[in-house]
Structure 1
Amino acid sequence: VDGGLETIALQLPAIVTTDLRLNEPRYVTLPNIMKAKKKPLDTVKPADLGVDVTPRLKTLKVSEPPKRSAGIVVKSVEELVTKLRNEAKVI
């Protein structure tokens, strides 16, 4: 979710939708936009398809991710290795 993490558990069958940022959007050309304006748009209600759209989700908790701390500028490779070894304990 925007600015955080959402974990859900659900029973199958299920429909999962995603945000536009999952993939790069396609850019439509102007001629295709003009063609789409001329096409009729059929409206179908969910009840006509036998679909129940009542909400079944309950939000338990929403929290923001922890704030990131500022980075540190090091002047040499030796200082970087020392900080990684002693402070971050990653090597």
Structure 2
Amino acid sequence: ILGKQAIDDDANQTGQMFAALMGWGQGTFASEVELQDGKVQVTREIDGGAETVSLKLPAVVTTDLRLNEPRYAKLPNIMKAKKKQLDTLSPADLGVDTTPRLKTVKVSEPPKRQGGVKVADVAELVDKLKNEAKVI
């Protein structure tokens, strides 16, 4: 299950690309999801109403905001959460090796580009492309 929005747009690309790379079916913009005997039924809103698709598992499902009702924290629970102890773990505590595996050999700026040239007309442009740049 993936969301449909990225931090920079609302393109719904990640789920669809992931499904294509894995060769799995996909149900996008899910407003209702139901699991049944190795399949998933995904209901989504379309222009004319609602559409339901049935997908064989494994499958990729991207969600819509209507999929779940958000839960709002109550003040007593917020106060209890402030008193909870937060455990701080290092990557080593979790058995994760964070040793760098890449080495930067060299960093340099690209060479400066030469300034462009203005031409008076198309004939002069074609002449410069043919004789100086030798691209045509």
TM-score calculated relative to the size of structure 1: 0.50
- Indicate how the Cα distance of structure 1 residues 42 and 80 shifts in structure 2: closer, same or farther if over 3 A, else same: farther
Deviates more, 1:42-51 or 1:59-68: 42-51
SS in 2 for 1:81: helix
Q: Which runs of 5+ in 1 are unaligned?
A: 1-23, 28-37
Give the Cα separation in 2 of the matches to 1:48 and 1:25: 31
Identity over aligned residues, as a percent?
66
For residue 114 of structure 2, the aligned residue among 63, 66, 69 is: 69
Higher strand share: 2
Displacement after TM superposition at 1:63 (Å): 1.5
In the other structure, the counterpart of 2:27 is none
Q: 5 Å matches for 1:1-91?
A: 25-26=7-8, 43-91=88-136
Between the two structures, name the one with larger relative contact order (CA 8 Å, sep ≥ 6): 1
Higher helix share: 1
**Equivalent position amino acid for 1:72 in 2:** V
- Indicate how the Cα distance of structure 1 residues 54 and 77 shifts in structure 2: closer, same or farther if over 3 A, else same: same
Q: Which runs of 5+ in 2 are unaligned?
A: 1-5, 10-77
Moved over 4 A (4+): 38-43
**Matched residue count:** 58
Displacement after TM superposition at 1:43 (Å): 4.8
Give the Cα separation in 1 of the matches to 2:8 and 2:95: 32
Deviation string for 1:34-88 (max 9, x for gaps)? xxxx898875421122111122332222111111110000000000000000000
Query: Which is greater in Rg?
Result: 2
TM-score calculated relative to the size of structure 2: 0.35
